[in-house]
Amino acid sequence: MTLRPAPVDTGILFRRADCAGATVAAQWRNVQESPLCTTVTNREGVSVATVEHLMAAFAGAEIDNLIVDLDGPEVPVMDGSAEPFLFLIERAGLLEQQAPRRAIKVLKRVEVADGDRKVTLSPDSSFGVTFEIDFPNEIVSRQDISLTVDAESFRADVARARTFGFFEDVERLRAAGLARGGSLDNAVVVSGDRILNRGGLRYADEFVRHKVLDAVGDLYLAGGPIVGHFHGVCSGHALNRRLLEALFSDPRAWCRTTLAVGELVEADWAPRARVARA
């Protein structure tokens, strides 16, 4: 995978070198239903899977325009978090562009539910995430967190949280052709009352923090940062996509705005956007 700077108004664009340079825009409209991850697909059927952690890193680094070159159908999983991507982006550096940084402002509450699982977007002056999880496991159990998410808090409080799974599910998933590359190197694995990974957890509540990371990445498929508050209850990628669909299907629920550089707050002037440097 190679990240390349892109002109203003490009957005985030995936380009498959193994598919004659076919491109797939990182947009919620292109999200295809897939288990365990977020996959984007273009009209010709070219897909890129597991984009959520990379998209979260782009959101955390405040990157607006970028081309992601890949030689296969999936973003490298790295360690199951956004930290390796964020580290390499910060090492490369960011380039400011002479254009407004555009965002999506939530104007009224939007909700999508599926049984006990629920996601909402509500008006707010910045971007915040509240998440609640409840698993029938004594290690994970009930966890909740609420954060205002900006570049600093994402790096410190979210980026290092790894995806997680349960040891008893491994054989079932692999029999279904899923998680074949999964290991202790790229996920937190829980077995009963034990964490199997050497070194244990990176945060005491790493599980719910990773759900925040996933939500940040999925919501960045809106086409830019969101000014509003997200609340997820035992939810996942599918509901996140449905939430964006519900938001954009109601023209009274959102509007476009611009942001001050480095801040997820509205600006009444034209700030500069940011892009990663090669």
Query: Which sequence positions are flagged as catalytic?
Result: 237
If residue 229 lies in a helix (H) or strand (E), which one and from where to where? strand 226-233
The rounded distance, in Å, linking the Cα atoms of 185 and 235 is 25
Alpha helices, H only, the chain: 52-61, 83-92, 151-157, 170-175, 206-219, 237-248
Helix (H, G, I), strand (E, B) or coil at 230: strand
Q: Rounded to whole angstroms, how far apart are CA atoms 100 and 267? A: 10
Q: Distance (Å, rounded) from C-alpha 172 to C-alpha 182?
A: 13
Q: Cβ-count burial of 175 within 10 angstroms (0-12 exposed, 13-18 middle, 19+ buried)?
A: exposed
Give the tokens for residue 34: 């897939």
Residue count of the chain, please give it: 278
Q: What share of the chain is helix, strand, coil (3-state, %, to 5)?
A: 25, 35, 40
Other beta carbons within 10 Å of 251: 8
- Residues 6 or more apart whose CB falls under 8 angstroms from that of 271 comprise 100, 101, 258, 259, 260, 261
- Most distant pair of Cα atoms in the chain: their distance: 55
Task: Answer for the pair 131, 212: CB distance below 8 angstroms, yes or no.
Answer: yes
Inter-CA distances, 61 with 201, 209, 216, 222, Å: 24, 17, 12, 16
